[in-house]
Amino acid sequence: NYQKSIELAPKFAFAYANYALALYQIGETKEAMGIMRNTIRKYSQFADLRAALTAVLWANGKRGEAESNWVAAVGLDKRYQDLDWVEHVRRWPPMMVEALANFLNLK
């Protein structure tokens, strides 16, 4: 349970990231985006959530904001340009991978 991991380790940014990704996967887009934004506000150098927020913003038609987050994300970690890495190493859920693919392919 991702909420429990946040309770146990509130300073572990990946607990928030995984929770936000899971929420997006089940269609809780607004809540996922809120967690992403709040976590990035606290951990501005967190490439994982910047890349995820890019995908969510793009999917919601916020193109300019998505592109700004993307510049920051790949400046911090270029691996997010590789969908295979995102899917099989970082293990993002399918809907997040698809959203990032749509951004990368300008769909």
pLDDT tens sequence across 72-85? 999 999 999 999 99
* Residue 19 confidence (pLDDT) above 70: yes
* Residue 7 confidence (pLDDT) above 90: no
**What crossing angle do the helices spanning 47-59 and 63-76 adopt, rounded to 10°?**
160
Q: Note the pLDDT of residue 13.
A: 82
C-alpha–C-alpha distance, residues 107 and 91, integer Å = 22
* pLDDT tens digits along 40-58: 999 999 999 999 999 999 9
Full set of structural domains in the chain with CATH: 2-104 (1.25.40.10)
C-alpha–C-alpha distance, residues 52 and 14, integer Å = 12
pTM greater than 0.75 (yes/no): yes
What sign does the CA torsion over 41, 14, 16, 8 have? negative
